[in-house]
Structure formats: C-alpha cells, structure tokens
Amino acid sequence: MWAPFWRLRPSKFCLNSGGRSKKRRLYFKRAGGGMNKSVDAKFDVFFNRCRSERWSRSKFIDAIHGSPKNPLLPEISRRRSELNDMPAQNLHSSYQAKSGGGGPKSVRSKIISLPPSYGKVLYLLASMSKAHLLVEAGSGFGVSSMYLAAAARSCGGILFSFEIAQYADIARDSVSLICPKSRVINADFNYFNSHLSADSNVDFAFIDAKHDADSILRGHKNLKGWLSSKAMIVVDDISYSESSKYAWRKLVRDEEFGFAASVNGRLGVLAY
Ligand SMILES: C[S@@+](CC[C@H](N)C(=O)[O-])C[C@H]1O[C@@H](n2cnc3c(N)ncnc32)[C@H](O)[C@@H]1O
C-alpha cells in the first residue's frame, strides 16, 4: 500500500541489470511507527552506471535518505527565510545577452535556490565523500553554498563558490555564517582554477550556474584534471531544458566516472 511521501522510507530497490531502455527505480513502502519520521522525502533514483569502488547502489541510496545531524542545518533554514524576504536583485548582464534583452532583469532567492530536501541531499553526499576541497558554480544567494559549507566544515575542508552577479556579496554573508573559512568569489566559474593552487585536488563539485549544454559541459571540462581520485560532481536541473538534458546524456557517457545516477530527474551525480 502506498503512503504519503513524508511517511515513506526506502525498503528495497529493484534494479534491472539489462538494457539501457529499462528504467531502474527505487521502490518504497510505508514507514513503520508514527508520523514524525526523520526521513521526509522520497527520492527516485535512476542508475546509469555502477562500476565504482566507492559508490554502490545501496550506499548511494542510504546516503541520500540519511538524517543529517549537523547543528548548522537549522541556521541554514533561518538564513533561507531571511533571504526569501530580501528584495529582488539584478541578474548578471550575461542573462540579458542570452535572451536578446527580453528576459527577466532581476531575481529573488526563493526562485533560484535549491529546495531544502535537495540541499540535504547535497550536504549528505558531500559529507559522505569526506570532501576537503569543494567548488560550486553559481552560488546564487548562497543557499546551496551553505549546505556545501556545512559539509566542508564537518570534514575540516573548504568551499570555493563562484557567482558572477553582484549579489555574490549576499551569498558571502550566507556562507560566512556556516563556515567562515569558506569563500564566495565574485567571478566566472570558468576560471575557477586561477583561484586554486596548482596542486589542488577538487573532491566535490556542484554545477548550478547556467543550465544550457554549453555552460554545463564547459564546467565539467574545466573540472577534469583538477579532480581527486574520490571526486564527485553533482549537476543541478539536468531536466531543465532540452539543452540541459542533452548535456547530462553527454556527461553520462564519460566512462571515466564509474558511477552515474540521477535523483528525481533533477540532480545528476557522477563519481569515481
Ligand atoms: C540557479 S542559480 C544558483 C542557485 C544556488 N546554487 C542555490 O541553489 O542556492 C544560478 C546562478 O549562477 C550564476 N552564474 C551563471 N553563470 C555563472 C558563471 N559562469 N560563473 C559563476 N556564476 C554563474 C548566476 O548569476 C546565478 O546566480
């Protein structure tokens, strides 16, 4: 019997071993006990490839359904509400160029920020990766950055998050609440490596800047060569448009990553 999503937890997962066209899905059953279960979201996982020594299907499923205990998470919720109440901020001019000048000129945090359930997934994956150096393309107002910064802090690591728009200042204030040594840089992610020392190795990257194929694939290409042997890349909004879907299909074909999966058709995950 199916239950509302807040009462569900994964009980088993059923995976087809065969051809590409077969969808591999998680199945859920009703959680025992009362309403107040800590597992509050149901994630549908599609595994494209599981040949990683670090990430098995079950480890991944357990990871994304975990209940993070980090005391900084309530502070992230508080800051998220504060950001939601802020006035709209000017979008970076490059968005006007792309839309021929007809697109929106300003943006608010609640429109672009990663929702709480996905923020938790990001936190859990970065923490499980024991990431010491994390990078982010597109800080926005710093909501996703705060989840990454919390993971960085819990692992003794550091986040470098990149935002081209002026509101990088706001993201910086968000991140400094969570991990003062992490940094928000008001610059183009395409040049992220000029902010790192040459011997740096990136353990975790979150790509959430522009969602067209060119930007996503460029981010991925720029990261290669900087990744550590345990690196994970998470791409947000892989189903946002035909262009982002195309980019994700291309990324999945990169056999260098032994693990490739997507969560709710939204987060694309690649890992060694
Ligand atoms: C979807 S929003 C990011 C939201 C944020 N990750 C969150 O969940 O809270 C995308 C952001 O990427 C920024 N952006 C776009 N292209 C970029 C680039 N090349 N380098 C850095 N930031 C970029 C935009 O200005 C915008 O604020």
> The CATH number of the domain where 261 resides is what?
3.40.50.150
Residue 88 maps to a domain: yes
62, part of any domain: no
Ligand 1 atom at shortest distance from the alpha carbon of 119: 8
Residue with CA nearest ligand 1 atom 7? 113
Which band of pLDDT confidence, cut at 50, 70 and 90, is reported for residue 103? Answer: confident
Q: How many CA atoms lie within 13 A of 231 on its CB side?
A: 22
Retrieve residue 40's tokens: 């509050």
Q: Are residues 251 and 174 in the same domain?
A: yes
Residue 48 included in any domain? no
- Partners of 263 in beta bridges: 45, 267
70 CA distance to ligand 1 middle (Å): 25
Which of 204, 267, 213, 208 lies closest to 244 in space, CA to CA?
213
| Residue 239 covered by a domain | yes
Same-domain pairing of 158 and 249:
yes
Q: Do 265 and 208 reside in the same domain of the chain?
A: yes
* pLDDT at site 33: 27
The tens digit of pLDDT for each residue in 115-169 reads: 999 999 999 999 999 999 999 999 999 999 999 999 999 999 999 999 999 999 9
60: pLDDT confidence band, cut at 50, 70 and 90? Answer: very high
Please check whether residues 38 and 112 belong to one and the same domain.
no
Overall domain count for the chain: 2
> Do 13 and 27 contact (CB within 8 A), yes or no?
yes
Q: Is 56 helix (H, G, I), strand (E, B) or coil?
A: coil
Same domain, 140 and 24: no
Of residues 178, 180, 206, 183, the one with CA closest to residue 76: 178
Residue 59: inside a domain: no
- pTM score, two decimals? 0.87
Q: Show the ligand 1 pocket: residues with CB < 6 angstroms.
A: 92, 112-114, 137-141, 143-144, 162-165, 188-190, 208-210
pLDDT in tens, 6-52: 222 232 232 222 233 333 333 332 222 222 233 456 899 999 999 99
* Residue 195 sits in the same domain as residue 109: yes
- Nearest residue CA, atom 3 of ligand 1? 140
What pLDDT is recorded for position 19? 30
The verdict on 125 and 205 lying in the same domain is yes
Q: Are 24 and 148 found together in one domain?
A: no
How far is the centre of ligand 1, averaged over its atoms, from the C-alpha of 224 (Å)?
A: 20
Domain that holds residue 117: 73-271
130 found inside a domain: yes
**Residues 104 and 27 grouped into a single domain:** no
